[in-house]
Amino acid sequence: MKKILFACDGKNFSEAGFDFIKWLSSLEPVKVTGVFFASVNYQMLLATAIGGYADAYIDYKEDNESEIKYSIGMFERGCKKNEIEYRIHRETEFWNLDEIAKETRFADLLVISSAQFRTDFNYDHPNSYLKQTIHSAECPVIVVPDHFEAPSEILLAYDGKKDSLYAMKQFCYLFPELTRLPANIVYIKDEDTATIPSLGFLSEYAACHFSELNIEKMHFAAKTFFPAWAAEEKNKLVVTGSYGRSGISGMLSKSFAEEIIRNNNLPVFIAHQN
């Protein structure tokens, strides 16, 4: 049995994210912990209240309490209806990445929505809160688009470096039942040669886990063209280790994962070494 975290804030309950969890539970039993954060940045509102606008602070807080209760109710009803074992963790009122890190430290997988996670704060997509959450997570993360369909193929991004292999391993360890799906390992580099780094080792390892395997090289710039190519794909789950630990401001500078999330049509499995 796996421990899955389902994270959302206040009114931004992700039905697609919960659909993904229902799909997982149809494959094997899971235990799901709903992690609910405030939709309102109370640290900012508290500063406003001190400046003389306490009524606005109180109104926001009461509205958010009602929204969180509604989301928790949806989560509870969904778990009971689908016979999923669950728990609820109500986080503090203040946005705290340390809490996210601690929750994920004791979990196998974090499930979040790419389109809805804390959109009230930052309308960029993916927004800064989503990026910070992925960056701080101490377990693999599934970022689910706003409409989820069960994948019929696994698409693994390979760059010849240890992070992409780490992500592949974590995926295989977590989801051995999904390794029976067709798997396509893609190495992308804009060059004339057909060489794939450590192809013999890669083939030997991947063949141990995936029953239907294809490995190919694509000759274009990964960040520029891979997201557009992936956007045309249907019913696939993307596996990548491309989120590094180089700092929040620059952690996406060498990654195409942000563009895949921005296209918002495929679930993305992200695993990075802490």
Instruction: Write the DSSP assignment of the chain as a string of letters.
Output: -EEEEEEEETT---HHHHHHHHHHHHHS-EEEEEEEE-SS-HHHHHHHHHTT-HHHHHHHHHHHHHHHHHHHHHHHHHHHHTT-EEEEEE--SS--HHHHHHHHHT-SEEEEETTTTTTTT--SSS-HHHHHHHHH-SS-EEEE-SS----SEEEEEE-SSHHHHHHHHHHHHH-GGGGGS-EEEEEE-SSS----TTHHHHHHHHHHH-SSEEEEEE-S-HHHHHHHHHHT--SEEEEE----SS-TTTTTTT-SHHHHHHHTSS-EEE----
Both 28 and 126 in one domain: the answer is yes
Domain C-terminal end among 144, 168, 190: 144
Q: Indicate the pTM of the whole model.
A: 0.84
Q: Are 129 and 96 in contact (CB under 8 A)?
A: no
Both 18 and 124 in one domain: the answer is yes
Both 87 and 135 in one domain: the answer is yes
Both 163 and 108 in one domain: the answer is no
User: How many folded domains does the chain comprise?
Assistant: 2
Domain C-terminal end among 144, 178, 197: 144
CA-based nearest residue to 43, from 105, 124, 97, 7: 97
Which has the minimum average pLDDT: 66-70, 89-93, 183-187?
89-93
Per-residue confidence (pLDDT) for residue 83, from 0 to 100:
96
Residue 15 has pLDDT above 70, yes or no: yes
Q: Which domain holds residue 100?
A: 2-144
Q: CA 112 to CA 37: how far, in whole Å?
A: 12
Both 165 and 140 in one domain: the answer is no
Both 135 and 166 in one domain: the answer is no
Per-residue confidence (pLDDT) for residue 273, from 0 to 100:
80
Both 82 and 133 in one domain: the answer is yes
- Which of 148-162, 167-181, 254-268 tops mean pLDDT? 167-181
Per-residue confidence (pLDDT) for residue 117, from 0 to 100:
55
Both 83 and 169 in one domain: the answer is no
- Intra-chain end-to-end CA distance of the chain, in Å: 24
Q: CA 253 to CA 268: how far, in whole Å?
A: 18
Bond into 126 cis (ω within 30):
yes
Residue 85 has pLDDT above 80, yes or no: yes
Per-residue confidence (pLDDT) for residue 174, from 0 to 100:
96
Residue 227 has pLDDT above 60, yes or no: yes
Both 252 and 165 in one domain: the answer is yes
Residue 245 has pLDDT above 50, yes or no: no
Pairing of strands 141-144, 109-113: parallel
Per-residue confidence (pLDDT) for residue 255, from 0 to 100:
60
Both 179 and 96 in one domain: the answer is no
Both 138 and 11 in one domain: the answer is yes
pLDDT band at 133 (very low <50, low <70, confident <90, very high): confident
The CATH number for 134's domain is 3.40.50.620
Both 140 and 157 in one domain: the answer is no
Domain C-terminal end among 144, 178, 208: 144
Taking only the tens place, the pLDDT of each residue in 94-119 is 567 888 899 999 999 999 987 645 44
Residue 36 has pLDDT above 90, yes or no: no
**Percentage of the chain with pLDDT > 90?**
45
Mean pLDDT of the chain: 80
